[in-house]
Amino acid sequence: MFKQSKLFGISEQFHEYRERLGHYLSTLSKLLRGAVKAVINYVQSGYRSLSYRQDCDVRRYMNGQPDKDGAADTVLNASRPFLKSDECERVKGQLPYIVQDMKEEQQQSRSRGFHR
């Protein structure tokens, strides 16, 4: 009897863990989806740079990633199936600006902690 209730408890914990993990992964995919949509909208707009909203959508995904360069590559690679090669080059030209800006912001926030 004790073994069955213990196994049932483990089964419930596992189910809860899978549910939380699934929610977490769906959140990540929503953020990446938002970044990809922003990139596609940017290309379709014909503008030289990302709009404020498009920039925010890309940053929202990249904020959750420790490696900003890797996150930019992920956004670009996830967007590739929807873009022509010249459009990929346009996007590839915009993402480093966001990465650099985010790295500078991160460095500034770190340096603020050292000031007295």
**Using one digit for the tens of pLDDT, what is the confidence trace for 24-63?**
657 668 899 899 999 999 999 989 999 999 999 999 999 9
**CA-to-CA dists, residue 11 to 4, 5, 8, 14, 23, angstroms:** 10, 10, 5, 5, 18
70, part of any domain: yes
114, part of any domain: no
115, part of any domain: no
Using H for helix, E for strand and C for coil, what is the string for 60-106? Answer: HHHHCCCCHHHHHHHHHHHHHHHCCHHHHHHHHHHHHHHHHHHHHHH
pTM summary value: 0.71
pLDDT at 70: 95
Comparing 36 with 5, which gets the higher pLDDT? 36
Q: Please return the burial class of 2, using the count of CB atoms within 10 Å of its CB with bins 0-12, 13-18 and 19+.
A: exposed
Confidence of residue 87 (pLDDT cuts 50, 70, 90): very high
Domains identified in the chain, total number = 1
What do you get for the CA distance between the two ends of the chain, in Å?
A: 63
pLDDT at 13: 78
| Enclosing domain of residue 88 | 2-105
Those residues whose C-beta lies under 8 Å from the C-beta of residue 55, and which sit 6 or more positions away, are 38, 98
